[in-house]
Structure 1
Amino acid sequence: MKYRKQFDRQVRAEDVWIPTRDGTKLHARIWRPTDAEAHPVPALLEYLPYRKSDWTAPRDAQRHPWYAGHGYASVRVDLRGSGDSEGVMLDEYTETELADGVDVINWLAAQPWCTGRVGMFGISWGGFNALQIAALRPEPLKAIVTVCSTDDRYDNDVHYTGGAVLGIDMLAWAGTMLAFTARPPDPATVGDTKWLPMWRERLDALEPYLHTWLAHQQRDAYWRHGSVCEDYAAIDAAVLAVGGWADPYRDTVLRLVEHLPGPVRGLIGPWSHQYPDRGLPPGPAIGFLQETLRWWDQWLKDDDTKVDDTNVMDEPLLRAWINDPVPPATFYDTMPGRWVGDDMWPSPSVTWDERPLGGADPVIVRSPHHTGIDAGRFFPFGNRTDLPPDQREEDGRSVCFDSVPLTDRVEILGRPRVRLRLDSATPRANVIARVCDVAPDGSSTLVTRGVLNLLSRHGRDRAVEWQPGTFEDVEFELNATGYAFPPGHRIRVAVSDAYWPWVWPHGTRGALTLHPADSAVLLPVRDPGADAGREPIRFDEPEQAEPLAVTVEPPARGRAERSVTHDVATGEWTLEVDPNYGGSRTYPDGLSYEESALERYQIRADDPLSATAGSQWTIRLRRGDWDAEIITSTELRATAAEFIMDSRIEARSNGETVAKRAWHRTTPRTSA
């Protein structure tokens, strides 16, 4: 990693309040060249609820000053009701959030130090709202960079997958956001007399997002809002879409390069849910800031002010990393592999290889309900326990179909599909398919997977119960991947009807009957000679601005980052996870930010109604005589007929309770 202390243009940072149409003011930090009033520059916006004063401050310091030093005003804004901004935040990606974003863009474009051209970038939430605001077409917004984001809020987000409830992140993310939205503004920014009334306003407005998310179990107007896949043509800004094979949102990159009508380029590396320059596993990291600078220069600057005169549209439409085979592990510092490029998507270099599962006799799929305990983290974050371990135990809980040992290397790129001829013993059931790379020693590396709630087999907007005793052909996509199977290895397709805690089980114990001879996996096989004669794809080494002087506290002893226990007598399995988003740290301004979280998922192997998921958070902020603490808990369980939600929060100031609330809600299980 190369750190830059000096740039061609001297940089200044300032905090400002940006007004919105209803008078609510959003707090922003702007890094820009000191001579921008005399020589105006384009503006870049990152717009998040994660608090620029503490939670994202180390990451912000890496990129915003760097962009400013290269001739941009780089702007970090706290969403309404988050960080130091006024107002309250009631949900993800609300119309208010997006309208505020448009107000901010128009305000930036009107500043005397701005040329009137604006770009927007972000990862995860910031990548989501960059796409969504681009679809609103504010005139100054000319380009975006969206990283680890989604175009489909229902089927490619943290709530549902394949029409099934995401047990692991529906609950965990709701618990996280309950704690996050309850955090107070900083009195050092908003004032000693204002911070407590602002905090009380936030606490009074709290309603766990889980209540809303579980009230919409099918793809309805709630989920279509903010899903740009509903109308790709609404986006005319230039879009650089970025993802990682270890990130759950990677499918979006392929859909965007296929469907966006305007300028678009896609980039998928081996990365987790992180910016690709940060060096967090799995690598290799790339010079991502330099790559995005080329994008900004192309769309936001005049020719005489560009750093690089090459046209970014000369790059392949899609640049993707092909992972070479590796033994299964929960952590890879660097993945072996290579970059490939395709000028069209779908690519003529990729053809479908249909492989029947085999066997003429039907087989019964009836997995124990703890199948999925070795699925790994839904959002790999660069931690040592994030990725799926050896899948042999999971394979043993599934019905597996193996190819013969391969005679040649087989590279796949895209979204594999499975077609299964099934009958379900119950009206409601899930089916899960995994593709694994099985080495000669029997070790099994997860390559990709997919889920289908059979209720949604005719569309995510409806629930159609299965008629037991009836066979149907169902087909569904697995997550996108770029992977090379080597000679001598076997391709395994593993089928199960349980995948806890990723997928919440239906309320009745069932079983599937599968006809292998009428079932197949369809692999997107890429021609290994497709890159002959093409210039190799290369990236600069990572470069960032000088890091923020943050002191990170070591994690508490005695707590594993991820642990699995099995009570043999009761048959209960328990998964405990410390999400380890960064832990506790002290900032240069004296702010101490303490964070502790624990997720717990429990189920008995023989009882789908034994499933419970819980999330606990404690966050404490201190500086001088200011001391604010938030303690939350969220729990989800279910009967055969309804989901049951219990949430609690206590907020304290200097040890005294400011607010204490509890919620108990139920909602019918309409399709999940």
Structure 2
Amino acid sequence: MIRKTINTLLCAALLAAGAANASDFGGPLPPPVNQVERTSFYIPMSDGTRLAADVYRPKEPGRYPVILHAAAARTRMGDGADKSGAGKFSVQMINLAAHGYVFVVVERRGLGASYGIRRGYHDRTEAHDSYDLTAWAASQPWSNGVVGVYGCSNTGDAAMHFLTTKVHPSLKAVFAGCFNWDKYSGGRRGGVLANWGTGPQSSVEADMKSTPVDGDESRAVLREAVQAHANNTPLLELWSGMPNRDDVSPLTGTPFWEEGSISTYGDAVRKSKVPVYIQGGWRDDFNTQGFITLANLTQPSKLIIGNWGHCMSLDFSMVAEALRWYDYWLKGIDNGIMKEPRIHYETVNAGWHSANQWPVAASHPASAFLGDGSLSLQAPAAGKRSFTVDYHPVCAAGTGLGPTCPQDDKGLTFTSAVLAKDLELTGHPIAKLWLSSSVDDGPVFAYLEDIAPDGAITMVSEGRLQARHRKLSKPSFKVPGNIPWHSFEKADVEPLAPGKAASFEFDLLPVSYVFRSGHQYRITITGADPREKLRKTYEPAPQWTVWFDRAHPSQIVLPVVGKPE
């Protein structure tokens, strides 16, 4: 009874400390309130599979909320690591253990030092592990029975999948970044296998370099665990083998895009009522998916997006923002986070803004029509231009939007007049192009760029569409604004008639960006991109034609805030 009273008083003191140090939006990570110790061991799942875990918990005796990170690898925080919570924040979430939480990093089945086989990429077996993990976390002697989940990138998908199956009643909040509501659009955005990653994939030899659990200095247990990983589903083979959304993978025996998609289980996600905070970056290939997720949630939810790359936050402390979220939902600290607008977004060149809806109310569509190398508010009477696909696009690291960089010399460019005043775009740019090709298929890429007075190019956004998937359809879930939708299903595949103009409508990644007075904006159109995987080529290289006459008014629809000039 005395120990229970001491623990209760200690938890109350930590709650008070958390309330006193709760940061406002955009603030720094508060000073730590406790020292942390780490232990490592295996957690058994209900089917007997054991998952390797690192547990970071306060040294002070007590019962604390638990945050689970269902990771692909246990990356440990070193003593010399950045503890600001900014930059590459995903590994720094461990810092939450110094703020009155137990932080558990567990490798999913078939990965790292964990036992088991990964059948696919976020399959139903893995999703069901989430219930076992939550039940385990809630029942530990250092747990107060309240559990949250964190993840970013593939672990962001894993965090959201905690809500797609039976949800343990102890699960109270999710903080997830850079994940995919719709896995097909994540893996094959626009129908093109052109992302920079296809998920965590390693060999048995690579997994033998994983961190063993405590007491396994000889790595004998690690070796036993990873032997089964040789039977993991090869992810590039899985993704490339399903060019259509409804394809059945011969590797899993299921239409795996649907099995692995959070969207497939949208009703379960909403029924869970578990609050969700979504994190994204303008320079991340998955940022549209965050806005789509927000549009489909009915539980308390928020979204933050800045001028960052994948699971990055530059000088913004994402750990501090996550701490505010968990303090509110797991500790009951009224820090004001739920009184703030639903969306925080950074407008590039203009700072932070907030909104309760997306697209924002001040944004409206305005068409810039493609002409003979120009973009203007008036459609030209006649014209067309052609280019030959260059199958050797290149991109130097650090020169563009995520892994994409200017491709102006690889296709056609269309440039606006010099801007007389600043132009803000906030929302989803839409390409509405009339194109023909000398072949019956192929990808088309459109890049939105900022051209400075000295000719310097800044990548702002980009979009893509595989020609055979250009038929428009109705989505099976909500999408924000006026995003064109394509089913990507076999029944809607439509090859091009070579030489005949066809309509291509597709969205570019969403933006919030100010083009400065004296600058120009540009659209570049190509037939290849540096990120393509397993690119199909034609010999000779195809010729594409962009049409811009009255019957074929090619245009880019821009989400303009204010009156366009």
Q: Which TM-score band applies after superposition, normalised by the shorter structure?
A: 0.7 to 0.9
What amino acid maps onto 1:107 in structure 2? Answer: W
Which piece of structure 1 moves more, 341-350 or 199-208?
A: 199-208
Q: Which residue of 2 aligns with 1:423?
A: 436
- Any gaps of 5 or more consecutive residues in structure 1? 277-282, 325-336, 378-382, 529-672
Matched-pair contact (CA < 8 Å) for 2:172–2:274: yes
Does structure 1 residue 514 correspond to structure 2 residue 546? yes
SS in structure 2 of the partner of residue 87 of structure 1: coil
Does structure 1 residue 232 correspond to structure 2 residue 266? yes
- 1:256-295 equivalences in 2 (<5 Å): 256-276=293-313, 283=314, 285-295=315-325
Work out which of the residue numbers 470, 495, 498 in structure 1 matches 2:528.
498
Work out which of the residue numbers 119, 131, 135 in structure 2 matches 1:106.
135
Counterpart CA distance in 2 for 1:247 and 1:177 is 27
Matched-pair contact (CA < 8 Å) for 2:50–2:115: yes
- Deviations 1:636-665, CA, capped at 9 Å, x for gaps: xxxxxxxxxxxxxxxxxxxxxxxxxxxxxx
What amino acid maps onto 2:318 in structure 1? Answer: F
Q: Which residue of 2 aligns with 1:657?
A: none
Counterpart CA distance in 1 for 2:200 and 2:501 is 37
SS in structure 1 of the partner of residue 420 of structure 2: coil
Note closer, same or farther for the CA distance 1:481–1:510 as it changes in structure 2 (3 Å cut).
same
Instruction: Give the structure with the higher percent helix.
Output: 2
Work out which of the residue numbers 345, 355, 365 in structure 2 matches 1:352.
365
Q: Which residue of 1 aligns with 2:69?
A: 46
Matched-pair contact (CA < 8 Å) for 1:84–1:189: no
- Deviations 1:182-218, CA, capped at 9 Å, x for gaps: 6456376436373365166235425532222222111
Work out which of the residue numbers 304, 307, 318 in structure 1 matches 2:343.
318
Counterpart CA distance in 2 for 1:213 and 1:203 is 19
Give the deviation of 1:371 after TM superposition. Answer: 5.6
Counterpart CA distance in 2 for 1:50 and 1:242 is 21
Q: Which residue of 1 aligns with 2:419?
A: 406
Does structure 1 residue 475 correspond to structure 2 residue 496? no
SS in structure 2 of the partner of residue 411 of structure 1: strand
Note closer, same or farther for the CA distance 1:190–1:208 as it changes in structure 2 (3 Å cut).
same
Counterpart CA distance in 2 for 1:135 and 1:352 is 35
Note closer, same or farther for the CA distance 1:426–1:390 as it changes in structure 2 (3 Å cut).
closer
Give the deviation of 1:75 after TM superposition. Answer: 1.0
SS in structure 2 of the partner of residue 298 of structure 1: helix
What amino acid maps onto 1:50 in structure 2? Answer: A
Note closer, same or farther for the CA distance 1:386–1:349 as it changes in structure 2 (3 Å cut).
closer
What amino acid maps onto 2:545 in structure 1? Answer: T
Matched-pair contact (CA < 8 Å) for 1:185–1:195: no
Give the deviation of 1:448 after TM superposition. Answer: 0.9
SS in structure 2 of the partner of residue 396 of structure 1: helix
Counterpart CA distance in 2 for 1:7 and 1:175 is 35
Count the aligned residue pairs: 488
Which piece of structure 1 moves more, 247-256 or 196-205?
A: 196-205
- 1:21-100 equivalences in 2 (<5 Å): 21-37=46-62, 40-52=63-75, 62-64=92-94, 66-100=95-129
- Deviations 1:610-646, CA, capped at 9 Å, x for gaps: xxxxxxxxxxxxxxxxxxxxxxxxxxxxxxxxxxxxx
Give the deviation of 1:390 after TM superposition. Answer: 7.1
Q: Which residue of 2 aligns with 1:163?
A: 191
SS in structure 2 of the partner of residue 484 of structure 1: strand
Give the deviation of 1:352 after TM superposition. Answer: 0.9
Q: Which residue of 2 aligns with 1:202?
A: 228
Larger RCO (alpha carbons 8 Å, 6+ apart) = 2
What amino acid maps onto 1:105 in structure 2? Answer: T
Q: Which residue of 1 aligns with 2:41?
A: 16
- 1:575-594 equivalences in 2 (<5 Å): none
- 1:381-396 equivalences in 2 (<5 Å): 391=406, 394-396=407-409
Counterpart CA distance in 1 for 2:233 and 2:542 is 35
Matched-pair contact (CA < 8 Å) for 1:349–1:527: yes
Counterpart CA distance in 1 for 2:189 and 2:204 is 22
What amino acid maps onto 2:388 in structure 1? Answer: S
- Any gaps of 5 or more consecutive residues in structure 2? 1-26, 82-88, 247-254, 372-379, 472-486
Note closer, same or farther for the CA distance 1:119–1:175 as it changes in structure 2 (3 Å cut).
closer
Give the deviation of 1:455 after TM superposition. Answer: 0.9
- Deviations 1:122-163, CA, capped at 9 Å, x for gaps: 121211111122222332221111122221211123xx2210
Q: Which residue of 2 aligns with 1:524?
A: 559
What amino acid maps onto 1:134 in structure 2? Answer: L
Counterpart CA distance in 2 for 1:186 and 1:12 is 17
- Deviations 1:395-447, CA, capped at 9 Å, x for gaps: 13211211111111111122211101222322112211111112222232211
SS in structure 1 of the partner of residue 408 of structure 2: helix
Counterpart CA distance in 2 for 1:57 and 1:126 is 25
Counterpart CA distance in 1 for 2:79 and 2:244 is 33
- Deviations 1:87-135, CA, capped at 9 Å, x for gaps: 2334321222222222111111122332222110012121111112222
Q: Which residue of 2 aligns with 1:566?
A: none
Counterpart CA distance in 2 for 1:113 and 1:387 is 41
What amino acid maps onto 2:57 in structure 1? Answer: R
Note closer, same or farther for the CA distance 1:371–1:323 as it changes in structure 2 (3 Å cut).
farther
Q: Which residue of 2 aligns with 1:361?
A: 382
Q: Which residue of 1 aligns with 2:488?
A: 460
Counterpart CA distance in 1 for 2:283 and 2:79 is 21
Matched-pair contact (CA < 8 Å) for 2:53–2:74: no
Note closer, same or farther for the CA distance 1:299–1:414 as it changes in structure 2 (3 Å cut).
same
SS in structure 1 of the partner of residue 294 of structure 2: helix
Matched-pair contact (CA < 8 Å) for 1:428–1:454: yes
Counterpart CA distance in 1 for 2:497 and 2:450 is 35
Does structure 1 residue 219 correspond to structure 2 residue 232? no
State the identity %. 26
